[in-house]
Amino acid sequence: MSSAEELRRRTRELLAALPPASTDRLDFLRARFDAGLAWVHYPEGLGGLGAPRSLQAVVDAELEAAGAPDNDSRRNGIGLGMAAPTILKYGTEEQKRRFLRPLWTGEEVWCQLFSEPGAGSDLAALGTRAVRQDDGDWVVNGQKVWTSGAHNSRWAILIARTDPDVPKHAGITYFVCDMTDPGVEVRPLRQITGEAEFNEVFLTDVRIPDSRRLGEIGDGWRVAQTTLNNERVAIGGMRLPREGGMIGPAARTWRERPELRTHDLHQRLLKLWVESEVARLTAERLRQQLVAGQPGPEGAGMKLAFARLNQEISGLEVELLGEEGLSYDDWTMRRPELVDFTGREAGYRYLRSKGNSIEGGTTEVLLNIVAERVLGLPAEPRTDKDVAWKDLTR
């Protein structure tokens, strides 16, 4: 059931039964899911056919050639990239059937309620409390932060403290939170760019039935690792053409605006161009290793490299622009649905890329991870390992 030919045949059957030109977009997406052609590596009945992940490209190519609608995956990146693999791995059959189909079609967008004002790099110290009620439900109180898309989301993946009397990693449980619950309040969090990509989410007596717990009570940290590992895969798995990243707009400005060139900027631009090209090759090498079934540890490094490059290149670009670099395109407070690094001007890129070395693991934490897991250097001394969460210093 996993040959490319078989998948091609099934895709054509779907297209014949529901010609994209005359089929409602959502009807088509639902039918595609039911045909197992949504994500072919998922199990049968859950949008897949248990086929190798690499064969998805066969399906996608057929559908694209036929002009079929896609599920606009960028709109639900957290749902597709993080919530779905976690639900697949830890969800009950009922949870998988309830959540995966509308998640994949985009009918239900997901967000992530992990970070807190007091738990950033030390996520496991989180303090949002979930307390078990007599009827078995949970009541959640606390504050989450840096939640992208919270205002558009139907569901959230949530980790909360269910046992404060054990060490921090042991007392966490993973839930699916209904974002329409009256106790959920979403407030935009304005960033240095002027806009609000992210939100603060205040949870006040939010009731979560036990049937929306994902994994065992107290096992939330382990469940969250699946989510976070998938985040890093998503960040590291990009395939870029030459000048495909942040260097592209800077190089274009250089070519189109000879009057802005100086010798100092030329040397710095060339150096960053070389580093961008090498980072691109490193990412490509990583991708080839994954395809060949020899995953290397390089993935941990790619985010570090791109964060620094994005920051240095956009900083150079602002400087290159001279007088124009003193202007900014727009400080208006907005809540964008998508982050677009290249759709705006250099000043925006400069400011937004400052977050690249903070979001998804700070550069400092990632360097620790590389040092310890890749190089095998001694771990940081732990003073919190055997201390009950409630007794930690805050």
Span near another protein by CB under 8 A; candidates 53-61, 170-178, 216-224, 272-280:
272-280
Sequential DSSP letters for 107-154 = SS-EEEE--BTTBSSSGGG---EEEE-TTS-EEEEEEEEEEETGGG-S
Residue 21 in the binding site for another protein (CB under 8 A): no
Residue 258 in the binding site for another protein (CB under 8 A): yes
Residue 273 in the binding site for another protein (CB under 8 A): yes
User: Among 185, 275, 324, 384, which residue interacts with another protein (rule: CB under 8 A)?
Assistant: 275
Residue 256 in the binding site for another protein (CB under 8 A): no
Pairwise CA distance, residues 70 & 47, whole Å: 14
Residue 263 in the binding site for another protein (CB under 8 A): yes
User: Residue 377 — left, alpha, or beta (φ > 0 → left; ψ -120 to 50 → alpha)?
Assistant: beta
CB-wise, 135 or 259, nearer to another protein? 259
Judged by CB under 8 A, the chain residues 220 through 249 that form the site for another protein are 242
**Terminal CA-CA length for the chain:** 55
Taken as a whole, the chain contains a residue count of 394
Q: How far is CA 132 from CA 125, 139, 234, in A?
A: 20, 7, 34
Angle between helices 299-320 and 263-291 (to 10 degrees): 160
For residue 189, the cross-strand partners are 198
Judged by CB under 8 A, the chain residues 286 through 305 that form the site for another protein are 288-289, 292, 294, 298, 301, 304-305
**Least distance in angstroms from the C-beta of 185 to another protein:** 38
CB-wise, 277 or 324, nearer to another protein? 277
CB-wise, 108 or 298, nearer to another protein? 298
Q: How far is CA 300 from CA 58, 225, 278, 311, 375, in A?
A: 29, 15, 16, 18, 12
**Least distance in angstroms from the C-beta of 277 to another protein:** 5
User: Among 58, 269, 313, 318, which residue interacts with another protein (rule: CB under 8 A)?
Assistant: 269
Residue 122 in the binding site for another protein (CB under 8 A): no
Q: Which two tokens stand for residue 148?
A: 């992208």
Pairwise CA distance, residues 341 & 317, whole Å: 13
Span near another protein by CB under 8 A; candidates 29-37, 139-147, 174-182, 282-290:
282-290
Here the contacts of 53-56 (C-beta below 8 Å, separation 24 or greater) are 54/291, 55/2, 55/4, 55/7
**Least distance in angstroms from the C-beta of 378 to another protein:** 3
Residue 385 in the binding site for another protein (CB under 8 A): no
Residues labelled as active-site residues: 231
**Least distance in angstroms from the C-beta of 298 to another protein:** 5
Q: Are 236 and 83 in contact (CB under 8 A)?
A: no
Q: Are 142 and 203 in contact (CB under 8 A)?
A: yes
User: Among 5, 134, 255, 326, which residue interacts with another protein (rule: CB under 8 A)?
Assistant: 255
SS3 content of the chain, % helix, strand, coil (to 5): 50, 15, 35
Pairwise CA distance, residues 141 & 124, whole Å: 17
CB-wise, 16 or 293, nearer to another protein? 293
User: Among 217, 351, 370, 387, which residue interacts with another protein (rule: CB under 8 A)?
Assistant: 370
Residues that bind another protein (CB under 8 A): 242, 251, 254-255, 258, 261-263, 266-267, 269-271, 273-275, 277-279, 281-282, 284-285, 288-289, 292, 294, 298, 301, 304-305, 364, 366-368, 370-372, 374-381
